[in-house]
Amino acid sequence: MKKLQHLIISNYQLILQALKGEEQDYTSLRLSKAIVLLTIPMVIEMVMESVFAIVDIFFVSRLGYNAVAAVGLTESLMTIIYAIAVGFSVGTTALVSRRIGEKDKTAASHAAAQAIVAGMVISCMIALPGALYAPELLKFMGADELLITANAGYTRVMFAGNLVIMMLFIMNAAFRSAGNAAISMRVLAIANFINLILDPIFIFGLGPIPPMGIEGAAIATTTGRGLAVAYQIYYLINGKSLLKLNFRMLKLHWEIMLKIVRLSMGGILQNLIATASWVVMVRIISAFGSAAVAGYTIGIRVIIFSLLPAWGLSNAAATLVGQNLGAGQPGRASKAGWTTGLANMAMLGILSIIYLSFPAPFIGIFISDPEVKDAGILCLQMISAGFAVYAMGMVMSQAINGAGDTYSPTLMNFISFWLVEIPLAWLLAIFLDMGPKGVYLSILIAETVLTVQGMFFFSRGRWKKKKV
């Protein structure tokens, strides 16, 4: 009984320590403890990032289906922004974690500063044309004139304010890479809280604030993210973080900038390859009717939300690999990757059993139509059957990225999604007339191929010699 009580207390203290975010040396800390301390705030951060879309849709849905459609179309257009932001976060993670492992905080701060500059330049290049041509962009996505006239303001504000998205991703990646994952978590908690308060006020009006409709949702989201970015900058400048920035570091440094861009291009391509493949998969499923598409959409949303903790673990692996390589401990870096991968497999394996056994309640939350519900259950069961396999693949990809080898995961994604998944989906679903089952089976096979490649590249160990 005393042993159990001691275990509960020690675990509780560990969780509090992770949420508090105390400075740690993750290159010497017990590996299991390091994984827990990094993973808990990273998981919460991933969940917080997904809350933005849920809150916006909840309030915007009160304005009608055209407004909801405008949000969906705009988010589809902004996929490129998220791909670039995630790509730069990959490059930032590789450089900053390596410098932190080398105990060179100044160089780590300089790398973070150059990543920020790169993100600012790219976001400014996107903002102007995005804001000016918002109606044309919606028309390109298939929106009718009525939707464009009433809702183009939302698209305009989101593109004009894309800088805050870029900065959130890049600076949070810098904090995570330095081992300050709790700061990243708090940043997104602040952004979500502000968005939750401002959304209904700006959309529907309150007191002297006039109702702004769907445009108010964009302003609220951008304001929430903007204030969160201000919080990030405060931490980076005032010296409370391992990373300490000053304005001199923002001066263009070509050597570091080229490293950031080179590493980030791999991350950007990885995300674009994966995202584009999902678009093609939806197109194939659409051949089987709207019920199949609706079921797929709901099933995938449940799956993506379920994978957020796994992405948290994967990000922890990237940080641990980068820092330990910087500290000259490639063996410990390798052990961190495999240990995190096995932990991820255990977690998603349990979730897989739950979804295979009781899928209906999870789909029923979103829809009651029997045909759509059955389609969603099929999607959830077939794709979740491979959760344990995906878990290892996610960690392997991020661990290799964290080492600074962004080429190998890009190649892995291209082979898995474009040479295996898409042709196989068409072959099974259309040519062999298996329907949606063929699509889901192709996803299972492609993700397995991705995991096998990841384990091969990681065990091969060439990433250990990568210079960044």
CB 229 within 8 A of CB 171: yes
Q: What does the pLDDT read at residue 383?
A: 95
Q: How many other CB atoms sit within 10 Å of the CB of residue 431?
A: 10
CB 357 within 8 A of CB 274: no
Q: Which domain holds residue 143?
A: 23-252
Q: How many other CB atoms sit within 10 Å of the CB of residue 17?
A: 16
- 431 or 55: which leads in pLDDT: 431
Q: What does the pLDDT read at residue 125?
A: 94
pLDDT band at 7 (very low <50, low <70, confident <90, very high): low
- Domain end marker among 252, 285, 308: 252
Residues 357 and 459 in one domain: yes
**Dihedral in degrees, nearest 10, Cα atoms 390, 343, 98, 50:** 60
CB 467 within 8 A of CB 404: yes
Residues 164 and 241 in one domain: yes
Tell me the three state secondary structure of residue 24: coil
Whole-angstrom Cα distance, residue 462 to residue 10?
38
- Kindly list the distances between the CA atom of residue 444 and the CA atoms of 110, 123, 346, 385, 438, in Å, as whole numbers in the listed order: 42, 35, 18, 8, 10
Residues 106 and 237 in one domain: yes
Q: Which of 19-33, 183-197, 247-261, 379-393 has the highest mean pLDDT?
A: 379-393
- Which three-class secondary structure string do you get for 397-455? HHHHHHCCCCHHHHHHHHHHHHHHHHHHHHHHHHHCCCCHHHHHHHHHHHHHHHHHHHH
Residues 338 and 246 in one domain: no
Q: What does the pLDDT read at residue 372?
A: 85
pLDDT band at 28 (very low <50, low <70, confident <90, very high): confident
Reported as a single tens digit per residue, the pLDDT across 127-150 is 999 999 999 988 887 777 887 888
Residues 73 and 157 in one domain: yes
Planar angle of CA 323, 324, 325, nearest 5 degrees: 90
Instruction: Find the mean pLDDT for residues 410-418.
Output: 95
Q: Is residue 467 predicted with pLDDT exceeding 80?
A: yes
Whole-angstrom Cα distance, residue 324 to residue 297?
40
Asked if residue 211 is part of any domain, the answer here is yes
Number of domains, the chain:
2
What six digits make up the tokens of 319?
């940080």
Q: What does the pLDDT read at residue 15?
A: 75
Residues 140 and 248 in one domain: yes
Asked if residue 109 is part of any domain, the answer here is yes
Q: What is the mean pLDDT of the chain?
A: 88
Residues 248 and 274 in one domain: no
Q: What does the pLDDT read at residue 242?
A: 81
- Which three-class secondary structure string do you get for 89-133? HHHHHHHHHHHHHCCCHHHHHHHHHHHHHHHHHHHHHHHHHHHHC
What six digits make up the tokens of 276?
């584009």
Reported as a single tens digit per residue, the pLDDT across 306-349 is 888 898 899 999 999 999 999 999 999 999 999 999 999 999 99
Q: What does the pLDDT read at residue 452?
A: 97
What six digits make up the tokens of 285?
């499923």
Whole-angstrom Cα distance, residue 225 to residue 192?
8
Instruction: Find the mean pLDDT for residues 104-109.
Output: 93
Asked if residue 297 is part of any domain, the answer here is yes
Instruction: Find the mean pLDDT for residues 383-405.
Output: 95
251: left (phi over 0), alpha (psi -120 to 50) or beta: beta
DSSP class of 329? -
Q: What does the pLDDT read at residue 412?
A: 96
Helix-strand-coil split of the chain, %, nearest 5 = 85, 0, 15
Asked if residue 262 is part of any domain, the answer here is no
Q: Is residue 173 predicted with pLDDT exceeding 80?
A: yes
Asked if residue 259 is part of any domain, the answer here is no
Instruction: Find the mean pLDDT for residues 95-117.
Output: 93
- Domain end marker among 224, 252, 280: 252
Q: Which of 271, 345, 355 is nearest to 309 (CA)?
A: 345
Residues 203 and 340 in one domain: no
Asked which of 72-86, 199-213, 416-430 is least confident by mean pLDDT, the reply is 72-86
pLDDT more than 70, % of the chain:
96
Give the N- to C-terminal CA distance of the chain in Å, as an integer: 50
4, with CB counted inside 10 A (0-12, 13-18, 19+), is: exposed
Amino acid identity of residue 76, one-letter, is S
- Domain end marker among 252, 284, 312: 252
Asked if residue 107 is part of any domain, the answer here is yes
Residues 200 and 288 in one domain: no
Task: For tokens 């995938």, name the residue.
Answer: 300
Residues 275 and 243 in one domain: no
pLDDT band at 11 (very low <50, low <70, confident <90, very high): low
Residues 437 and 404 in one domain: yes
Asked if residue 15 is part of any domain, the answer here is no
The per-residue DSSP string of 167-226 comes to: HHHHHHHHHHHTT-HHHHHHHHHHHHHHHHHHHHHHHH-BTTBPP-THHHHHHHHHHHHH
Reported as a single tens digit per residue, the pLDDT across 198-255 is 999 999 998 889 999 989 999 999 999 999 999 999 989 886 678 888 888 989 889 9
Q: Is residue 9 predicted with pLDDT exceeding 70?
A: no
Q: What does the pLDDT read at residue 4?
A: 56
Q: Is residue 12 predicted with pLDDT exceeding 70?
A: no
Residues 241 and 335 in one domain: no
Name residue 209's beta-bridge partners. Answer: 206
